[in-house]
Every structure is written in structure tokens, then in C-alpha cells.
Amino acid sequence: MTAEPTDYAAGLEAPAGVSLWRHELRATVKLALPIALTQLGQITMMTTDLMLIGRLGDIAIAGAALAHIILFASFVLGMGLMSAVSPLAAQAFGAREPRMVRRSLRVGLWAAVMIGAPLTAAMFGGENLLRTLGQDEHAARLAGQYLMGLSWCLVPGWWFIAIRGFMGAVNRPEPALWIMLAAIPVNLLLAYMLIFGEFGMPQLGMVGAGIATTVVNLGMCAASLWICYTQRPFRKYRVLGYFWRMDWALTAKLFGIGLPIAGAFLLEYGLFAIAAILMGWIGTTALAAHQIALQVASILFMAPFGISMAATVRVGHAVGRRDPLGTRRAGFSAIALGAAFMATMVVLILATRHVLPLAFLDAESADAGATLALAATLLAAGSTFFIADGVQTIAAGALRGLDDTRVPLLFAGLSFWGVGFGTSYGLAFTVGLEAVGIWIGFTVGLGLYALLLVWRFNALTRRGYMPALPGHAHS
């Protein structure tokens, strides 16, 4: 079994001279596009769920927002560990070590199983936690119902992320997109049937929405494994070969890289989660408007998130080849691409900010007017936050390709909580800007984080930093 001869296996030949940057940009787009579309498909499923839940009323959207706080607190821990699969596999691919590619995926799958059981159980206490945090009792009860069906999606969701990272690392991210495209209509139909009791199914409301998400995640996980075992070029890696052989050294490296990623994710999502708590203190209208605006922002975020994953792979390939100039070129090409894209999207968001929230609420309902107006205001207030968010996630992805995750974790703590939260709270409650003040705080925290990460990547690559590659002992 042999790996692809170079990381240009996607069909592009390595150029020379000044066209290197142009080639890197093309290669990044080619890799990032299906990854971004896959992420967009994921958020599309969440958005369609939210749109269906929104037909149950404002309070149901508020309940879904609270449930997502609990879900993300659990999910991002595993997502951080699964994110470490991509740089490890990409470095092995660049170094022409196909067995290490398989080992990188295998330890990721085991890590998902190890942490999945306790976190799944913990999510069932979400309703009580929300009540303790002072949330509206009706909204907390609906959140608990949603979590009853949603909690089981953790492990299959993480496995799909790990397998998707493996596919991207070997320059073939498209199958994950095909699976996602098939899953979107299935999820929509299943959620509709289970929420409203259509086509002979029981009417389960919020519980049904959660069950639909879990069933679809199980199907996506099974489909991705089937493709890995039957389709080229994945089948030559025999991804579950020696699955029962524990690889403690590589598992330790995965946790060493992945736990700081998870920590940074938790600090970032924690800021957004506490923002939802603060919005709940202001009122259900503020919480619902926040959730709608944040959902729009999440859709917008999928493009830079895809570019970030491509940056991890491209930098990882260069690390595997021991090419310090290639690492710098890969990272900065991705950062420039993401910044340009997000600046363009901000113009579109500003132009359509009064129209976009209409997708989430019935404009004729009694309480919709105030929610829609506030959501449009938040989208305007968040325009600079969108650009900063795009740059920070791409710079963080480039640093993951260098196995550099611990210093970014420190940056995240400083930016999100030392600066971002303090600014949000002060502007919202001391200055009296309420919901708008919370979103301005987002911009300040994310902007600082983006600047620090770009500085860090520049500092490392200017001196030609190369992380050590793991050993290549057994399969």
C-alpha cells in the first residue's frame, strides 16, 4: 500500500516561481469548497429544524436556543478532539506514511467512544441546569424535551467529523458532501413527521426534532464508513484495520493536540452560550432575536470554517513534506481568501437584514414584530464581528496544521473572557445597550483573537518552525 506521490494528488501540478501563490489559492479553494458546503449542509439541517420548531412559537425557539447551549457544551469537546485527526492524517499523507493516516483516524474514533458515554448521560440533566441558571421554566422544559431526543447524536456525529477529516486529509472531501446533501431532505421530512405527527407518525414536538437529528447522524456515520470501505482511494487505507489495537502513544498525541482545540472551542462557544443566558435575563424577545441572528451568522460562518479545515490540511501536507515556505504560503493564502469572502458577505447581510429573519418566524404572529426588528438590528451590529470571526477560525486552522494549539488556547481565554465577556456585560447592563451591547462585545473579543492568531502564525512561519512528526511503528 502506498500513499499518493505528492499532496498535489487532487489533479494540480506543482508550479514554479510567482505562480506558487496562485496555485496555493486554487488548491485551497478546491479543497475548501466541498468542506464548506458540507458544513453549510450541517447548518442547513439545524436551520430547518429551527424553522419547524419556530412554528410552535417564540417560546419554542427560546427552548431550542437553550438546548443548543447544553448540546454545544458537550459536542465541542469531542469536536476539538476530532479536529486533531485532520492535521495528524494530513502530516502523515504529506510524509507518504499511509499507515499513520489510518492510525490517526483510528485513535480519533476511539477517543469519541471514550468520552461519548459520560457526556451523553450528562446532557439529560440539561433542564435542571437551565432552571438553576434562572431561565424561564417553560423554555427550560421545552429544552429538556428537545435534549431527550438530541443527546444520542454525540458519538455518531463525532465519528462523521473524524471520517470527514480523514477524507479531507487525503484530498478527497467530496463524499462527505454527498452524504450531507442526501441527509438534508431526509432530516427535513423526518423532523416534520415527528414534530407535527404527519404521515401516521406520533406527534412528539420538541422530542421529535431531537430524535430526527440523532437518526440522521447515525445514518451519516454509517454511510461514511461504507464509502471508506468500498470506494477509492479510501479503501486502500482499511480504516478499521487493527481497530481493537490500542495506540496509546498516538492517542496521547491526539489528546495533546485536541484538548487545547476543544478548550478554545469551549471558551468561544461558552461566550456565545453565556450571551444566550444574558439574553434570557433581558427577555424572551431578546433571546429569540439573538438565536435568529446567530443562526444567520452561523450560516455565514460555514465558508471560513471550510477554508479553515482546508488550511489545516494544506499546512499539514507541507509539514509532512518538511516544507517551511509551503506552510507559510498555505496559511496566508487561506487567511486572505477568507477575509475577502467575509467582507463581501457583510455587504449582502447589511442589505438584507430586514428580510432574513422572516424565514424563522411567522410575521403575522402577535409577538413577531419586536423579535424581527431586534434580529435585524443585531445583524447590523454584528457586521464587523463576521469578518473577525472568519479570520480567527482560518488562522486557528492554519496553526493546527503546525500542531500549535496550546498558545491559541491562552489567546482564547484572554480574548473571549478577559475582553469579550467583560465588554458584552458592561455595554449590555452598565451602559444600558442590552442585546446590542452583547453583540458589540462579540466583535471586540473576536477581533482581538483574530489579531493574536495571525501574529502567532506569522511569528512561527517566519522562523521556519516545523513540528516533530509522530513515530511510524505499528499499523
Place of cell 464587523: 384
Contact call for residues 435 and 279 (beta carbons, < 8 A): yes
Provide the 10 A C-beta neighbour count for residue 178: 15
Q: What is the mean pLDDT of the chain?
A: 83
Please give the helix or strand (H or E) that residue 192 lies within, else none.
helix 174-196
Measured CA to CA in angstroms, residue 103 lies from 11, 260, 322, 471 at distances of 26, 21, 20, 11
Burial 334-364 (b: 16+ CB within 10 A, else e): bbebbbebbeebbeebeeebeebbeebbeee
Distance from chain centroid for Cα 112: 16
Q: Which range, 15-24, 134-143, 395-404, has the best average confidence (pLDDT)?
A: 395-404
pLDDT digits (tens, 9 = 90+) for 22-68: 788 888 888 888 888 888 888 788 778 777 887 777 777 778 878 88
Of residues 210 and 241, which shows the higher confidence score? Answer: 210
Q: Note the pLDDT of residue 16.
A: 52
Handedness of CA 71, 67, 136, 417 (dihedral sign): positive
The pLDDT of residue 13 is above 50: no
Percent share of the chain, pLDDT over 90: 21
Cα separation, 315 vs 296, in Å, equals 30
Contact call for residues 380 and 354 (beta carbons, < 8 A): no
Cell numbers at residue 123, please?
446532557
Cα separation, 94 vs 97, in Å, equals 8
Cα separation, 303 vs 345, in Å, equals 10
pLDDT digits (tens, 9 = 90+) for 161-220: 999 888 988 888 889 999 999 999 999 999 888 888 888 777 777 788 888 889 999 999
